[in-house]
Amino acid sequence: MSGGRPAGLGDQLLLPDRGPRLAPWLIGVLMFVTVLVGAAGLALANSARLVAAGAEQRWSVQLAGGARTADPLAATVRKVPGVVEATPVPEAEIRSLLAQWLGPDLARSSALPLPALVDVTLAPGVSPAPLRQTLARQAPNARLLSYPEQLGPLLDNLRLLQGIAFALVLLMAGASAAAVMLATRSAYDAHRGTIEVLHGIGATDRQLGALFQRRMTREALIGGTIGAILGLSLILLTLLVTGAFFSIAANGPALRPLDIVVLGLLPIAGAILARLVARGTIKRALRATL
């Protein structure tokens, strides 16, 4: 009680409610789920990006006539301006691919007519028009297929799942906000007598709101941190056991270090959300008074 600094309304004005405090537990569970769903959403986003990046500027040329025509076809394609790479797909690889659908016996059968396949990579920003014109002149029966078009449905599905994951994260945030709102309202009702006294002797809405804001922010931070630690631990455990979580796409990690940082910051975002919700709830409750 000494010193010259201005006094404030301390936390001691509001006693902890009797009985178990449910808000931190509820927020902890919601944060645990949010971290997992958020991680899934980020992994899907990363996978979609990697798949799209891998397919960009990649084309496939098909020509009926068997694998023996693949090398001359590749040589023709390589001469087209803007073609970075043209690689004939070995017959064995084509048969191996077909075996997944037709079975090994039929796939190995010499009676099965196989097309010549050439994988083509164009330089970034180069139009496929010259390639199309060359093929029309020199191999009119050849078909030019775009990787991105072929992968379109897959990418659409990945993006849909990613959207669902982020919608779930927002849903969790909404549920957390509702939990904070109920907890704040309950705390307000429990301390209504004290609030009326403080209000009656000149406390501002801001001062009264701050009492609840501090409390709800602390509870959200505690519950959220525990939930996030458990969620991140489960993700890391999954990585250690299966390696699957971090390597959905073969050409890159599904979760980057930045994603882990974002997930680790979720409790802070939750605490800020709790603070705002508590402030709004108290403001609304006090608005009913003079």
Partner 1 sequence: MRVERGDRSVSGAGAIVEFDSVGLRYGTGAEVLKDLDFRLMAGGFTYLTGPSGAGKTSLMKLLYLAQAPTRGRIRLFGEELSDAPREAMPAFRRRIGVVFQDFRLVRHLSAFDNVALPLRIAGRPEAEIATSVRELLDWVGLADRAAAPPPTLSGGEQQRVAIARAVVAHPELLVADEPTGNVDADMAKRLLHLFESLNRLGTTILVATHDLSLIAATKGAQLMRLEGGRLVDPTGALKHPPLRPGVS
Pairing relationship of beta strands 143-146 and 58-64 according to DSSP bridges: antiparallel
From 13, 99, 173, 234, residue interacting with partner 1 (rule: CB under 8 A): 13
Query: In this structure, what are the phi and psi dihedrals at residue 56, rounded to the nearest 5 degrees?
Result: -65, 135
- Scanning 129-137, 141-149, 167-175, 197-205 for contacts with partner 1 by CB under 8 A, the matching segment is 197-205
Note whether 290 binds partner 1 by CB under 8 A: yes
Note whether 12 binds partner 1 by CB under 8 A: yes
**Total of residues contacting partner 1 (CB under 8 A):** 27
Q: CB nearer to partner 1: give 6 or 243.
A: 6
- 114-153 footprint of partner 1 as x/- string (CB under 8 A): ----------------------------------------
From 8, 66, 90, 152, residue interacting with partner 1 (rule: CB under 8 A): 8
What's the closest the beta carbon of residue 235 comes to partner 1, in angstroms?
43
Q: How far apart are alpha carbons 187 and 23 in whole angstroms?
A: 11
Q: How far apart are alpha carbons 24 and 255 in whole angstroms?
A: 28
Query: Using an 8 Å Cβ cutoff, are 87 and 74 in contact?
Result: yes
What's the closest the beta carbon of residue 207 comes to partner 1, in angstroms?
7
Note whether 6 binds partner 1 by CB under 8 A: yes
Pairing relationship of beta strands 58-64 and 83-88 according to DSSP bridges: unpaired
From 56, 71, 149, 196, residue interacting with partner 1 (rule: CB under 8 A): 196
From 70, 203, 222, 278, residue interacting with partner 1 (rule: CB under 8 A): 203
- 250-289 footprint of partner 1 as x/- string (CB under 8 A): -------------------------------------x--
What's the closest the beta carbon of residue 14 comes to partner 1, in angstroms?
9
**C-alpha distances in angstroms, 85 versus 11, 74, 123, 131?**
69, 9, 9, 12
What's the closest the beta carbon of residue 206 comes to partner 1, in angstroms?
9
What's the closest the beta carbon of residue 245 comes to partner 1, in angstroms?
49
Note whether 186 binds partner 1 by CB under 8 A: no
CA angle, 269 as apex, 264 and 270 as ends, to 5°? 100
DSSP code of 103?
A: -
- For residue 258, count CB atoms less than 10 angstroms from its CB and return exposed for 0-12, middle for 13-18, buried for 19 or more: exposed
Order of strands across the sheet with 58-64? 83-88, 115-122, 58-64, 143-146
Note whether 194 binds partner 1 by CB under 8 A: yes
Note whether 154 binds partner 1 by CB under 8 A: no
Q: Which two tokens stand for residue 249?
A: 């796409």
Query: Using an 8 Å Cβ cutoff, are 222 and 17 in contact?
Result: no
Q: Which two tokens stand for residue 98?
A: 């077909």
Q: CB nearer to partner 1: give 60 or 207.
A: 207
Pairing relationship of beta strands 143-146 and 115-122 according to DSSP bridges: unpaired
Note whether 21 binds partner 1 by CB under 8 A: no
- Give exposure, 90-119, as e/b (b: 16+ Cβ within 10 Å): eeeebbeebeeeeeeeebeeeeeebbbbbb
Interface positions with partner 1 (CB under 8 A) = 1-9, 12-13, 15, 193-194, 196-205, 207, 287, 290
